[in-house]
Structure 1
Amino acid sequence: MTAVEQRFREFKMPDVGEGLTEAEILKWFVAPGDTVTDGQVVCEVETAKAAVELPIPFDGVVHELRFDEGTTVDVGTAIISVDTDPGAGEAAPQAAPAAGEAVAEAPAAAPESEEKEGRQANLVGYGAAPASTKRRPRKPLPSAQRSAPAPSAAAPAPQAPAPAPAPAPAPARPEAAPELNGSGRPARPLAKPPVRKLAKDLGIDLETVTPSGADGIITREDVHAAAEAVQAARETPVAAPATAPQGRERRVPVKGVRKATAQAMVNSAFTAPHVTEFVTVDVTRTMKLVSELKQDPELAGLRVNPLLLVAKALLVAIRRNPDINATWDEGNQEIVYKDYVNLGIAAATPRGLIVPNIKDADAKTLPELASALGELVGTAREGRTSPAEMSGGTITITNVGVFGIDAGTPIINPGESAILAFGAVKLQPWVHKGEVKPRQVTTLALSFDHRLVDGELGSKVLADVAAVLERPKRLITWA
């Protein structure tokens, strides 16, 4: 590694999740010229799972931000360059040669602005940079000619015996010039890799971009200008029937959490054969227990609601039917049964649907489960859920009842065996002890992967959840 490479270090986009391939830069917290220290957060990125802050692993001064905010960057791509030795300055000039020494003639130093443009223009595959022709070093002169003064035109110097003629130097080969197309521009547009990536993300063909950089280099500003021109052309009204919905539609790029969720749901729906079963249950006693638990000193300050008892009921049902807690290993053609429950809770956030999970939920007491559930929901709403909190789930609950929905057919979270939908709790006429009375009733829906969960097992799990919610004292006798 050269001294320059050691001095200017690049920080690459890390894989902040499990096998993620890209992330979008949401916000930069530093700018070129800022001093950064090891562990300092330099930007926030959004992966397919969550928004994550990235700390830089070394000290220095920010030299360059390689991508703008809103750009999606592949994992492993350098996103920021840092000068780790800003006090070094420019390279030290070489010592002047001693008198009489033969010196190879070198091109004069270019001004700083031209030097920067020259570095920008000298791209791999685009031919040599302009004004970079090489000169052969001069041969040393005989000592008599080195020491003698230069002859004047009026008094020609006496001719010394001519040395043996040396072979004439071969003519310098002209530098290869970039191949041009019919319009006089390079046949292949000249642009740095980050600029090509930006053009790809924005859907801009570099062939259509007018370069403004030195020697025909396309800059980021050129790409943005082309993108704005395309957008303006799209927004320009055109002749259309009176029924055309001009200005009544919005287009939003699908990326980040929404893109990952969409792909995961497609993969799950068309990979795992879904079966959904429903049951309607009287939860009047459960709702009464929720009210009592809210007054319990041991649960003071904790999140106590019907979802807490639904989660506890599902954990009891899994303990009674442990084979529901499994996953299908397609590669090895195996069913993997798990002796732990990482309980996922589907949460709607401004960035889209995410499913963080409570690790080892089956080993938690009711107060511990209430605390974990409250922390999970609060973190999700604030957008601070980490990728680790969304990995490794085994079974999920989705609470559609908060939206006033009675039931649905939920899609299984990829890698899991089942998902339970908890519907709205409503006061309905219900036959209770032989009489029709108003009771609080809800509908539960359980979707499961029919490759590893047959109808009998799925039905037993759903029936056990319903039985616990109907008579919550079973939480004591069955747990």
Structure 2
Amino acid sequence: MPEYKQFPLADTAEGLTEAEIIDWKVKPGDEVAVNQVVVEIETAKAAVELPIPWAGVVTELLVEPGQTVEVGTPILTVDVDPHGTASPSVNGSAPAEAASNEAAGEEEMKPLVGYGSKASSAKRRPRKQAAGSPKPTAESPEPAEAVRAVQVVRPRQAPEDVPGTAPAAYVPLAKPPVRKLAKELGVDLRTVTGSADGGIITREDVRRAAEGVTATETASAAPAVSAPGGSYDPASRERRVPIRGVRKATAQAMVNSAYTAPHVTEFLTVDVTPMMELRDKLRRTPEFADVKLTPLVFAAKAVCLAAKRTPDVNAVWDESAGEIVYKDYVHLGIAAATPRGLVVPKVRDADAKSLVELARAIGELTTTARDGRTPPEDMLNGTFTITNVGVFGVDTGTPIINPGESAILALGAIRDMPWVVDGELAVRKVMQLSLSFDHRVIDGQQGSQFLADVGALLADPAVAITY
């Protein structure tokens, strides 16, 4: 007989608690193979494709695209024995031998593509069991405990199938603060219809349920229509877009940084004509023929060289340990604007790369980021960041430091400007640099010295041989 398994939303080795379903790669009735990609999700950092750990036939998609669900929530049901070839069961339970073999098979299963570079050793807090749902067993572990954890189930019963009741397998879509409010007001979320985009339950939905007011009654007073990326209210001529994914994570990180680290920003205007001349020369060499050589690449090299003379800019303040941690490597973050918001993927060990290696790495990194395909592990553990606001025609700015780092450099637009050279006025290529740094780690002298070194390397790349 058929054997159904539910595929839970996996923690993609980022320590995240939720993700948005972007696009299903399969539909009910499709046959799937082991490690076949079945869904694309968006986490707070990037878009990730998830493969399924077993073969079978898809019987049900439990979550609609656009919905945000918690890690461990079942999102897909698969019949792993569509041809009835499994050993017969007794009273609905598989024989002990079959169960043992299945457990052994799962134990030997390799990590799946898309779940991160390696398994996390950190233990997650056990999730609370929903009322009426079966307790996890050795054969059916709690989904949040491991990436490969699965639950053997029967086909899910929709809420409307049983009047006045909600099935245990039905998982309401609501954020933790909303769940807390529902608990305080004594509202069963399984009986509430979400009014937000994707059917997500909001605080107002819970309050209306507690007061006995339906979402339909509220909507009739001020009708809103669905709009791309949110809902549009014709009466107010406003479009509301849920804050989630990359935008939500970026906002929280910037607020935390701005109100935690005492920011100082310094500015420097630099004649980069020699750098641009060197760039033109290198472009004509075979080594750089197929490489995109941008001012950002030269700035990245300058940052790595200058950081060796001022290691404080590559250190971090560890409040919990009461220490300043100095890094003997530079994991260089490159801020990239994407359709999903600002992301900062890292070039690992940038200080150990040559100029051509840096150019290739930055080119691949930015292209992948704009396509929304940056692996989650490439978004973590940066030590210094560069943001190139000059590509938007902006001269300068006061960038906010990324959490976990102590400094960030902004590159302005390169413009033809009057400049004094050897006592005479000339038209030169000029760029403004701005450096924001954490004054707990970096004093004014250190920050100024680092910024001056970067400027000197861009004004005259030959200075690099003295470092």
**Is the Cα contact below 8 Å between 2:193 and 2:205 reproduced in 1?**
no
Distance 2:307 2:255 in 1: 27
- Matched with 1:53 is 49
2:317 to 328, 336, 357: 328
- Matched with 2:276 is 287
Q: TM-score, normalised by structure 1?
A: 0.71
> One-letter code of the match for 1:204?
D
Distance 1:418 1:190 in 2: 44
Q: CA deviation at 1:204?
A: 3.1
1:267 to 248, 256, 265: 256
1:19 to 7, 15, 21: 15
> One-letter code of the match for 2:190?
A
- Comparing 85-94 with 413-422, which one deviates more in the overlay? 85-94
Distance 1:320 1:258 in 2: 35
Aligned residue for 1:86, secondary structure, equals coil
Q: CA deviation at 1:379?
A: 0.8
**Is the Cα contact below 8 Å between 2:208 and 2:215 reproduced in 1?**
no
> How big is each residue's C-alpha offset from its partner over 1:10-65, in whole Å with a ceiling of 9 and x where there is no partner?
21111114221110001111122222111011110000000000101111222222
- Matched with 2:72 is 76
> How big is each residue's C-alpha offset from its partner over 1:101-121, in whole Å with a ceiling of 9 and x where there is no partner?
xxxxxxxxxxxx99x946995
- Matched with 2:222 is 234
- Comparing 42-51 with 447-456, which one deviates more in the overlay? 447-456
> How big is each residue's C-alpha offset from its partner over 1:296-323, in whole Å with a ceiling of 9 and x where there is no partner?
1111110101111111111110122222
Distance 1:256 1:122 in 2: 29
- Matched with 1:107 is none
Q: Which runs of no fewer than 5 residues in structure 2 stay unpaired?
A: 92-156, 169-185, 226-232
- Matched with 2:408 is 419
Q: CA deviation at 1:450?
A: 1.0
2:371 to 377, 382, 388: 382
Q: CA deviation at 1:326?
A: 1.1
Are residues 1:360 and 2:349 paired?
yes
Distance 1:12 1:31 in 2: 16
Q: CA deviation at 1:248?
A: 3.9
Aligned residue for 2:446, secondary structure, equals helix
Q: CA deviation at 1:84?
A: 1.3
Alignment of 1:427-446 (within 5 A): 427-446=416-435
> One-letter code of the match for 2:58?
V
Q: CA deviation at 1:475?
A: 2.2
- Matched with 2:205 is 204
Distance 2:423 2:215 in 1: 71
**Is the Cα contact below 8 Å between 1:41 and 1:54 reproduced in 2?**
yes
- Matched with 2:171 is none
**Is the Cα contact below 8 Å between 2:335 and 2:343 reproduced in 1?**
yes
2:293 to 300, 304, 311: 304
**Is the Cα contact below 8 Å between 2:57 and 2:82 reproduced in 1?**
yes
> How big is each residue's C-alpha offset from its partner over 1:208-228, in whole Å with a ceiling of 9 and x where there is no partner?
59xxxxxxxxxxxxxxxx767
Q: CA deviation at 1:83?
A: 1.6
Q: TM-score, normalised by structure 2?
A: 0.73
Over 3 Å counting, the alpha-carbon distance change for 1:190 and 1:362 in structure 2 is closer
Distance 1:202 1:84 in 2: 39
CA RMSD of aligned residues (A): 3.5
Over 3 Å counting, the alpha-carbon distance change for 1:118 and 1:253 in structure 2 is closer
Distance 1:384 1:249 in 2: 32
2:456 to 467, 475, 479: 467
Alignment of 1:1-400 (within 5 A): 7-88=3-84, 117=161, 121=165, 123=167, 191=190, 198-200=199-201, 204-205=205-206, 233-235=221-223, 246=235, 248-400=237-389
Aligned residue for 1:88, secondary structure, equals coil
Distance 2:268 2:62 in 1: 55
> One-letter code of the match for 1:325?
N
Larger of the two Rg values belongs to structure: 1
Distance 2:192 2:218 in 1: 22
- Report how many residues are paired: 374
